[in-house]
Amino acid sequence: MRTWSTAEVVKLTGVTSRTLRHYDALGLLTPAETGHGGLRRYGEAELLRLQRILLLKRLGLRLDVVAEILEGDLAEVEALRRHAAQLAAERERLDRLAATVDTTIRQLEGDQSMTPETWFDGLDAGKQAEYEAEARRRWGDDVVDAGEAAVKAMTDDERRAIPAKFEDFHRRLAALQTDGATAASPEVQAVIAEHHTFMTRLWGTAPTAEAYKGLAALYTDDPAFTATFDEVAHGLAAFLREGMNHHADTKLQ
């Protein structure tokens, strides 16, 4: 039976060796053979399984869902139906948000007025109020008020760029997580350091070790936060928390 080395699989598929090790650690793709020094080799069955993993990932499915499909615990069509429903719900929310932004622009330009009932379409204002109340409980009024002042002091362009900045952090961390990096690795900690610096700007003061670890805990304790991160990559919320905790323990003490 012909087998391919890790280097050959990397060249053949474009998947990194870290990703292959990550898939092995998850039990998603076990090599056909593991030789001296941990050298992995893959047979035709493993390559076909990898092809299916990559196809399912391309469809937007999380790795835990991919694993369920490959193990026969979840029908592929059912997984895709669920994913389609999630995408449809998100598309509906984004459509409402886009309409709200468009109408707001026209109102600011004097072309159209808005009623208060439409100001918050797509924004989930109730959840925002919950987050603010939780922040005041965890860190106190002074910290929250300082953060509000810091954000208000930003230019309009800077405020509009905030979501994209967070998305960039999450995307880079998810890529490192997928490649098998640990939360304490230099590459991950470099991104976490940028995250702490950005939070310092948003808060108007540098988060202490305790406050930064409290923020990290919120990311995994609040299901809404966890779901948001895990939509980017399964387990990202826990991975981010671990990275933030390491940064707090080693750099903020």
CATH of segment(s) 4-70: 1.10.1660.10
Q: What is the domain partition of the chain in residue ranges?
A: 4-70, 75-123, 124-251
CA-atom Rg of the chain in angstroms:
22
DSSP for the chain, please give it. ---EEHHHHHHHH---HHHHHHHHHTTSS--SEE-GGG-EEE-HHHHHHHHHHHHHHHTT--HHHHHHHHTTSS-HHHHHHHHHHHHHHHHHHHHHHHHHHHHHHHHHTTS----GGGTTTTT-HHHHHHHHHHHHHHH-HHHHHHHHHHHHTS-HHHHHTHHHHHHHHHHHHHHHHHTT--TTSHHHHHHHHHHHHHHHHHHTSPPPHHHHHHHHHHHHHSHHHHHHHHHHSTTHHHHHHHHHHHHHHHH--
Q: How many CA atoms lie within 13 A of 156 on its CB side?
A: 0
pLDDT tens digits, residue range 10-28? Answer: 999 888 988 899 999 888 9
Q: What is the pLDDT of residue 242?
A: 95
Distance CA 177, CA 166 (A): 16
Across the chain, which has 253 residues, the per-10-residue mean pLDDT values are 90 90 90 87 92 83 84 76 73 68 57 45 49 63 75 79 86 91 95 93 87 87 78 89 95 85
- Read off φ and ψ for residue 104, nearest 5 degrees: -65, -40
3-state secondary structure 128-145: HHHHHHHHHHHHCHHHHH
Handedness of CA 132, 136, 139, 143 (dihedral sign): positive
Q: In this predicted model, what pLDDT tens digit does every residue of 85-127 receive, in sequence order?
A: 767 776 776 676 666 666 555 555 554 444 444 444 444 544 4
CATH number, span 124-251: 1.10.490.50
Contact in structure between 22 and 53 (CB atoms under 8 Å): no
What pLDDT, on a 0 to 100 scale, did the predictor assign at position 77? 75
**Residue 53: how many other CB atoms lie within 10 Å:** 21
pLDDT at position 182: 94
Q: What is the pLDDT of residue 175?
A: 92
For the entire predicted model, the pTM comes to: 0.50
Q: Which residue type is seen at 234?
A: H
pLDDT of residue 102: 61
Phi/psi of residue 239, each to 5°? -65, -45
Distance CA 49, CA 52 (A): 5
